[in-house]
Structure 1
Amino acid sequence: MTGKELWKVFSKGIYDENPVFRLALSLCPALAVTSNVANGLTMGFCVMFVITANNVVVSLTRKFVNPKVRVPVYITYIATIVTVVQLVLEAYFPLLYKDLGIYLALVVVFAIILARAEVFASKNTVFPSFLDGLGMGCGFTLALLAISIIRELFGNGTILGMTVLGSWYNPALIMILPPGAFILIGYIIGLMNMRDAKKAR
């Protein structure tokens, strides 16, 4: 692949095929753990690591896995990587591990991770697969970051726990609840679609 093609492989996950805003995959964490920036970033980085590592492993072993059992094998890879992430977080960042709770274990069944293994990594060499996973992970992390900044700001008046809006501000409690996240994601998707339609015209 040329440098331009490799860049396209990486960059498509950031906007054109953004997992949350374009493909509407893995919305569970986008609704559940983005009530504050710290949790959103942690989940984003965890998924970025898992999807990138899984893509590399799938690409390395693609010629040795029988196509009939490829999905269970891919899920085993993902579960192993997620377990490592859980153990690291539990050992070094116990508060974040506790905040993410069951949603961290659910990374194993995130559709975007299995989809990239099936659609891309199983058909390409290691470096493009690495870039594909990294790009999708970056897009996922940026989506969670954007959602969590808006939710924490308007839901608590803070960002990363630091007060941004003064005592005069009356927090919109719906923003820290899952319905608020769902509405926010809808508005962001709508704005992106309007931008694309305007650009097409």
Structure 2
Amino acid sequence: MGVQGDRIFAAIEQRGFPDPWSAFGECLSWESAYAVQLKQVIDQARKGPDEQLLQTVSDLFEKKTANLIDAGKLLADALAEYDQNGMWQMLDERAARLDIDDVSERWARGLVEHPFPIALLSLQFNWRYMKEHGVRAFYEMTSRYVDDLNANTRRWADAWAAEAETGVIDRVTTVECDLASEEAPMHCDICKKTITALLYLDR
């Protein structure tokens, strides 16, 4: 076991993660990072009026929004490029040949032990989805997910604006929107690793 996985990891060792998927994954990791920072600063701002903290919240919402716009553009450009160069057919063929158990064994080696290995389970879900529905369909779904993250950010920003204006604290929206953002890397930084396995399968 681990034959395909070893080959993929050897290619990663030589080449790293390929763009645009590496950059896309980084964007979705930042989605979580910005949410953590926002929650921290909002908690501080709720303790009393502070113009600097309020400006920091505003700046973080702007950065979070811009980051998701960048992610959406990277994904849209990749979809268009792969439509033009016929990559989807090759990726679907490789997805069909990918041995999920074999590759999972190699990916699992570096994980810290936990009874619910969320990163590994996310990888396995992604590969199964690609096998069943096609690789392009997976990224169409991912594009909708990024749109939903944008809507989540707008909802959070609107709730914070209302809170700042009225003084009525809305902790529930903060909790819900923060959680949605913190989950993002387990889907979309993970999907960087998902497609890398296909791109490097025959290297």
Query: Which one has more relative contact order, counting CA pairs under 8 Å at least 6 apart?
Result: 2
State the TM-score, normalizing by the size of structure 2.
Answer: 0.30
State the TM-score, normalizing by the size of structure 1.
Answer: 0.30
**Greater fraction helix:** 2
Structure of higher CA gyration radius: 2
